[in-house]
Amino acid sequence: MSRVNVSLVVGGVLVGLVVASALLSFVWTPYDAVQVDPATRIAPPSAAHWLGTDTFGRDVVSMLLVGARTTLFVGVVAVGVAAVAGTPIGVLAAMGPQWLGELVMRTNDLVLAFPALLLAVMFGAVFGPSTLTAMVAIGIATIPSFARLARSGTMQVLATEYVLAARAAGRTRTAIATRHVLPNIAGLLLVQASVSFAIAVLAEAALSFLGFGTRPPTPSWGRMLQEAQQLIYSTPELALWPGLAIALAVLGFNLLGDGLRDRFDPRLVDHR
């Protein structure tokens, strides 16, 4: 096991970069990320503006840094909603009566027929587009992944001998769930969280690109991309930076998930 876990390291570094950018943007950015300056519209990269400015004269570096904040915020809320709702549902489905488990799995399948992006567009249509509706919609669409994983993980833990022993010793279901099940499936859920985070980042970018996610003036990588697309014939490189940021963030969370999977329990995850 002396082999270095490449996925974990590279993924960790990329995710770390996104987090560092977001944190940095709270204390310092080269310029005000929302400051419109008609005098410096679409400036090429220079010492003053490392990656140039956009169509409104905003500094691209500053927007990217603050945009990292939006990305992480959306991811945390969406994955949080999914994990907090999905985990207990899955554990209950595994520990409760059989009809409950069946009901949960059928509902899961049904929710899966509504992809995150479609659900977010529906939410946007009914409640009006905003970051919050987008995040909640993405979160809801992600609940099934957590519920399914929590259920199968719980069933495996319940079948182990130490849980059978605990049951024989008269432990309550709640005690078994909190003391044995949750600690044992935590690693799996963390892996799922990392993968879901990548999906949330993608969904937010796509939604903002379509105009359904983050509202102006809050900087968002997806909207930067949409604004850059208008200028694709004159300054195509403006689309490159936010595109690269999104791809690297998604790659980071995917790799981190892969790395964590190898590390935590290859046996549990490998055989879905």
Partner 1 sequence: MVLHLLRRTTVFVVSLVVASVAVFAFMTVLPGDPARVALGVNATEEAVAATRAEFGTDRPLVVQYADWVSGLPRGEFGRSYVTDADIGPQIVDRLLVTTWLVLSGMVVALIVALPLGIAAAVRHRTPSGALISGLSQVGVAVPSFIAGILLVTVFAVRLGWLPSGGWTPPAQDPVQFLRQLALPALALGLVQGAVLTRYVRSAVLDVLREDFLRTARAKGLTPTRALVRHGLRNAAIPVVTVLGLQLATLLIGAVVVERVFVIPGLGSLLLDGVANRDLLLVQGVVIVLVLAVLVVNFLVDVAYTVLDPRLRRAG
Binding site for partner 1 (CB under 8 A): 106, 109-110, 113-115, 117-118, 121-122, 124-126, 129, 198, 202, 205-206, 209-212, 225, 228-229, 232-233, 236, 239-240, 243, 246-248, 250-251, 254-255, 258
Query: Nearest distance from residue 164's CB to partner 1, in Å?
Result: 28
Of the pair 48, 232, the CB lying nearest partner 1 is at 232
Beta-bridge mates of residue 59: 53
Q: How far apart are CA 60 and CA 51, in angstroms?
A: 6
> What are 135's two structure tokens?
């995040």
* Min separation Cβ 128 and partner 1, Å: 9
The nearer residue to partner 1, 158 or 250, going by C-beta atoms, is: 250
User: What phi and psi values does residue 154 have, to the nearest 5 degrees?
Assistant: -60, -45
DSSP 180: I
CA distances from 80 to 36, 179, 218 (A): 34, 22, 22
Least distance in Å: CB of 112 to partner 1? 8
Nearer to partner 1, 172 or 230 (CB): 230
Query: Which of 95, 144 has the CB closer to partner 1?
Result: 144
- For residues 112 and 144, the answer to whether their CB atoms sit within 8 Å is yes
Q: Which two tokens stand for residue 87?
A: 């985990």
Give helix 221-229 / helix 60-95 axis angle, nearest 10°: 130
- Nearer Cβ to partner 1, position 84 or 112? 112
The nearest distance, CB 229 to partner 1, in angstroms, is 6
Residue 41, classed as helix, strand or coil, is: coil
Between CA 148 and CA 70 the distance in angstroms is 28
List C-alpha distances in Å: 234 to 42, 126, 144, 230, 239.
10, 37, 43, 9, 11
Distance from C-alpha of 153 to C-alpha of 97, rounded to nearest angstrom: 17
Report the nearest approach of partner 1 to the CB of residue 195 (Å).
Answer: 11
- Which lies closer to partner 1 via its Cβ, residue 129 or residue 219? 129
Smallest separation (angstroms) from partner 1 to the CB of 115: 4
